[in-house]
Amino acid sequence: MVRGLGELWSLLRGHRRSVAAATSLTMIGTGVGVLQPLLVMKVIDNAQHGRVPMWLIGALLGLFVGQAVIDTAGHYLLERTGQGVLLGLRHRLIDHLLRLRVRVVDTRRIGDQISRANADTTVVREAVAYSFTALVTSLIGVVGAIALMVWLNPWLFLLVLGVVMVAGVVVLGALSRIRAVSERGQASVGGMTADLERALAAVRTVRANRAERREAVRIGAHADAAYQAGIRMAKLDSIIAPAMQLAVQGSVLVVLLVGGVLVARGSATLGSLVAFLLYATYLVMPLSQLVESAATIQRGLGALARVNAVFTLPRESDGAALRGPLRTVPAAPVRPRPAGYAVSSARARDAGTGPRPAVEFRDVTFAYTTIPVLRGISFQVPTRGQVALVGPSGAGKSTVLELIEQFYEPDEGEILFAGRDVCALSRQEARGWVNLVEQNTPVLHGTLLDNIVYAAPDAPARDIDWVLSAAGLTELVERLPRGLHTPVGDHGVLLSGGERQRVAIARALLPKPAVLLLDEPTAQLDAVHERALTRVMRGIAEERALLVIAHRISTVRAADQLIVLDQGRVLAQGTHEDLLTASPFYRRLAGGPIPPTGDGVSAPAVAERS
């Protein structure tokens, strides 16, 4: 609990002045409240002698109103601080989540991460904002009330203490279990969000497979678990509340009984009995506040553990010198954006026309887990022209593009951009050099324009017109009643597969990368659209490097060079015609059905390579 308090306290960095001000106000409010019974005692004692001075009544009223005003200001300040802490935590979390290493994202559930940024931070807010102040002020309230009770009548106080301690044992038992229950409940909410996200993201698949009921049961199971945790929490809360109630009523009863006898015997005044009674209730109020804030802190610590777990996940470094210092490859720096549409001549020099290819793999080996997916592959992509990666499913083609995009780092070997080891480039530089159109072409919620200018929000209209025409989208935009301002729906569901593909190509072209990577651009297209896109690709390849993955050889038949991959190895390289003659494996790829991975290709691999 003490370490947990330290963690919560560290969240208040930058807000400590506000917390101090709010705590001071609440303390003053509590102090003003503690004074009231003393004045009441004075009023009653004076009344017994037949006169009640008006100033006493006025002072009592003043204290009453003063306390209300001070409490209001303190409450607002706390609420504001809580919101500030929540905002800071969410900003950090959002930033961290968006920069997580791709390898980490691969193994996490997105919905659960969303839930951590959403539900868990809200629980932490409550713990952070209120509980510190409540802890401090209620402690002061308890100490103050105890001191005054001891001063008024130590024996009566001991009796009250006995009653409160009985309740205290019950409450402490319940408090110790709250954190674990809260963590379980929050984890169930995370699981529910993750499964709901999964089902809604694939709503068509769910419907087509008539899986609504099964999904509802699956997601409902998390809701049930959250409910169970909620019920356990309610049980613990309901143990705490009556225990505190018992402490109040028991204390009042004991004080009334024993105090009444003392007043009857004349060993105590009626005023001191009333004051003592008020303090007995005043003791219980901050005590229950103390207990409540301890419970909120426990809940908050449960949620904070989940939030902090995100911060322990490794994020992508900025890139430069990831695997050691800059290699001594003599090259001009890569400039992420050219001046015009075409790769400028200066850039072409940077890119190393001739000896320095736009992208080069040198003996690159890579494994997602333990089994290598790429096994020492080497190839070059010149600054202009089209290079195609072909090979059976699972050969490692998409992995090559993922390594170029720096989503993963090679285990061995080097990747060079324009002759420079990518490890010597910042991620910004490297990702300015290339751009990727993924296999599943994510189109984002928003308008067509939002999607196209995603990487270059300030792009001038002429650039947008150019990428629209380069990607063959001009006609579509003219046909749509709202043109570029047409909403595309979540994940671009309002567009056809081919349109989504072309929107993604236009988006990738707008920041003018030196190298455009296309993963299966024609997978969703019919023969007519495939031919149109092939023309688009030829146009693009005249100005920059184009690296394309295609299952259909017809898409890449005209490529300047084809690289045949199988089982993570380069089997053969050359033009379509060269390969038809030299590579039996390619002949089978091009002509017949694509052979499954490992279809007797290991031995020819050596022969074909040579």
Ligand X SMILES: Nc1ncnc2c1ncn2[C@@H]1O[C@H](COP(=O)(O)OP(=O)(O)OP(=O)(O)O)[C@@H](O)[C@H]1O
Residues lying near ligand X in the complex (CB under 6 A): 106, 368-369, 373, 391, 393-399
Closer to ligand X by CB, 302 or 391: give it. 391
Task: Tell me the CA distances in angstroms from 257 to 164, 166, 273, 277, one per residue in order.
Answer: 16, 19, 11, 11
Task: Tell me the CA distances in angstroms from 579 to 91, 327, 549, one per residue in order.
Answer: 53, 35, 16
Cα–chain center distance at 261: 64
Closer to ligand X by CB, 126 or 438: give it. 438
> Of all residues in the chain, what percent are helix, strand and coil, respectively (each to 5)?
65, 10, 25
Minimum CB separation of residue 394 from ligand X in Å reads 4
Minimum CB separation of residue 385 from ligand X in Å reads 22
Minimum CB separation of residue 568 from ligand X in Å reads 7
CB atoms within 10 A of CB 268: 19
Minimum CB separation of residue 401 from ligand X in Å reads 8
Closer to ligand X by CB, 8 or 400: give it. 400
The torsion angles phi and psi of 373, rounded to 5 degrees, stand at -100, -35
Minimum CB separation of residue 396 from ligand X in Å reads 4
Task: Region of 319 please: left (phi>0), alpha (psi -120 to 50) or beta.
Answer: left
Closer to ligand X by CB, 41 or 517: give it. 517
Closer to ligand X by CB, 106 or 411: give it. 106
Minimum CB separation of residue 541 from ligand X in Å reads 21
Look at residue 56 and give its three-state secondary structure: helix
Distance from first CA to last CA of the chain, Å, rounded?
68
Minimum CB separation of residue 368 from ligand X in Å reads 3
Closer to ligand X by CB, 486 or 597: give it. 597
Closer to ligand X by CB, 129 or 395: give it. 395
Minimum CB separation of residue 601 from ligand X in Å reads 14
Closer to ligand X by CB, 183 or 519: give it. 519
Minimum CB separation of residue 15 from ligand X in Å reads 40
With beta carbons less than 8 A apart as the criterion, state whether 484 and 514 touch: no
**Angle formed at CA 97 by CA 82 and CA 101, multiple of 5 degrees:** 155
Closer to ligand X by CB, 467 or 564: give it. 564
Which residues, 6+ apart, have CB-to-CB distance to 587 below 8 Å? 579, 580
Which residues, 6+ apart, have CB-to-CB distance to 571 below 8 Å? 391, 564, 565, 583, 585, 586, 601, 604, 605, 608, 609
**What stretch of H or E contains 86?**
helix 54-98
Structure tokens given for 191: 């699981």
